[in-house]
Structure 1
Amino acid sequence: MLAWFRRRYLDLLGSIYIYNEHRGYTAIDRVLEAVRARSPDDKALIAAIEKHRADERKHYVMFRRWFELRGVMPFAVDRTIGHIDRFVEIMFRRKIDDLDTKAVIASDALFERLCRVISLTERRGYRQVEVLLRHPLVRDDKALIRIFQVIEKDEPSHWAPYDGWLSAHGKREPRWWERAIDSFIHSELLLVKLPLLFLTPGLKRRTDWADAHEPASRAASFVPQPISA
């Protein structure tokens, strides 16, 4: 029973992370489109966001390899467990895929809001990884620990470009209610959605990988280092 509990917990944890990493780098494609249109001469900002995108893709590939080594596919979770999905839906009142990129490009206020959402999401991710690195069920999986150590190292550079843009343009920091929304989304996932998924009988697994149909140029190449124990 204990072995089943641990395996299911880790499978769900990995499924949530691989979804969010894939959503992360595909959503950043939209951000890059906006930044390149708004500030084509800001090479430093564009390069920093491109690195963020590459890191999210790298993390996705590492989780994919982790599942392949386990011989199973991730559970078929959806946007309801995506932190950035929920944050964007609350702050912009529409799904990420429905976000009007042209409107974001044209409006300082909308781009500013997007920068704060991304920054808060990345900071939340960093704090959660710190917790997971101490989690007893996670610590027994050396391959998973290695993945989270890579994420912990990469994460601080992910909120930096968005905080930098806000500071350089004299924009405000997140207010208490924006932080409260971030905390609510995180608590909702941990206290409601994760337990419900854990207890759902017959929870289906994906039949293909999220990046299976992406053009090679969009997926970008990344050859993961071995992560087996």
Structure 2
Amino acid sequence: MRAWFERRYLDVLGSIYIYNEHRGYTAIDRVIESVVKRSPDDVVLIARLQAHRADERKHYLMFRRWFERRGIMPFAVGRTFGHIDRFVEIMFGTPIARLKTQDVVESDRLFARLCRVIALTERRGYVQVETLLTNRIILSDPILTRIFSIIRKDEPSHWAPYEDWLDAYAQRGPIWWERIVDYVVHAELLFLKLPFLFLNPWARPRGRWPDEADRNAMSGDGLHNAPVPGGPA
């Protein structure tokens, strides 16, 4: 029973993470495209966003390889389990898939709001990973422990470009009610949605990997062959 509980917990956690990492880099693709159109000469910002995108995809692929090594697929979860999905929907009043990213980036006020959302989400992710790396169940899996250690190392560079943009354009940082929204979104995911998925006997595995639907999933970005830490190259 204990072994089943621990395996189920890791499967649920990995399924939520793989969804969020995929959502992260595909959403950043849209931001990069819009920033390039608005400010093609801002090569520093564009490069930092591209580095963030590359890390998110790297993290996604590490989780994918972790599942593949175990011979299973992650659970089929959607935007209900996405932190950034819920946060954007609250802050912009529309699902992230329907967010008009170009309009947001063209407006300093709206782009500042988006920068605050992303920065808060990334900082929240860092705190969560710190907590997970003290979790006995996580530490029992050396490869998963290594994955989360890499994420912890990468995370600070993810919120930095958005906070730096806010400073450079004299835009305010997050205020108390935005932090509360971030906390509530996280609490919903941790204390309501994760347990629901864990206890749901009808939860089914995905039929295919999320990146198989990406427009450029196999376009040779060089990251598809990234090895899982501890796994074969």
Work out whether the TM-score is over 0.5: yes
Matched letter for residue 143 of structure 1 = I
Post-superposition Cα deviations, 1:142-168, rounded to whole Å, max 9, x if no partner, equal: 000010011011100000000000000
Contact 1:37 1:105 in 2 (8 A): no
How many pairs are equivalent? 229
Aligned structure 1 segments of 4 or more residues deviating by more than 2 angstroms: 213-221, 223-229
Report matched runs for 1:69-218 at 5 Å.
69-214=69-214, 215-216=216-217
Find the aligned partners of 2:151 and 2:16 in 1 and give their Cα distance. 15
Shift of 1:105: 2.9
Find the aligned partners of 2:220 and 2:187 in 1 and give their Cα distance. 31
Post-superposition Cα deviations, 1:79-101, rounded to whole Å, max 9, x if no partner, equal: 01100000000000101110012
Contact 2:62 2:228 in 1 (8 A): no
Shift of 1:219: 7.2
Report matched runs for 1:57-76 at 5 Å.
57-76=57-76
Shift of 1:33: 1.6
Post-superposition Cα deviations, 1:165-221, rounded to whole Å, max 9, x if no partner, equal: 000011101000000000000111111111111111131110100011322466722
- Describe the shift of the 1:66–1:115 C-alpha distance in structure 2 as closer, same or farther (beyond 3 A): same
Cα RMSD over matched residues? 1.3
Shift of 1:60: 0.4
1:227 has 2:195 as partner: no
Where 1:212 maps in the other structure, the secondary structure is helix
Matched letter for residue 227 of structure 1 = P
Matched letter for residue 36 of structure 1 = V
Matched letter for residue 185 of structure 2 = I
Where 2:222 maps in the other structure, the secondary structure is coil
1:34 has 2:19 as partner: no
Matched letter for residue 157 of structure 1 = S
Find the aligned partners of 1:49 and 1:198 in 2 and give their Cα distance. 34
Post-superposition Cα deviations, 1:53-101, rounded to whole Å, max 9, x if no partner, equal: 0000000000000000111000001101100000000000101110012
In the alignment, which residue of structure 1 is the partner of 2:45? 45
Find the aligned partners of 1:46 and 1:75 in 2 and give their Cα distance. 34
Find the aligned partners of 2:160 and 2:54 in 1 and give their Cα distance. 15
Find the aligned partners of 1:9 and 1:74 in 2 and give their Cα distance. 12
Find the aligned partners of 1:105 and 1:191 in 2 and give their Cα distance. 33
Find the aligned partners of 1:68 and 1:161 in 2 and give their Cα distance. 33
Contact 2:122 2:155 in 1 (8 A): yes
217-226 vs 138-147, which moves further: 217-226
- Describe the shift of the 1:110–1:227 C-alpha distance in structure 2 as closer, same or farther (beyond 3 A): same
Normalised TM-score (structure 2): 0.95
Find the aligned partners of 2:168 and 2:108 in 1 and give their Cα distance. 13
Contact 1:69 1:228 in 2 (8 A): no
30-39 vs 188-197, which moves further: 30-39
In the alignment, which residue of structure 2 is the partner of 1:12? 12
Matched letter for residue 2 of structure 2 = L
Normalised TM-score (structure 1): 0.96
212-221 vs 122-131, which moves further: 212-221
Find the aligned partners of 2:28 and 2:13 in 1 and give their Cα distance. 22
Structure 2's unaligned 5+ residue stretches are: none
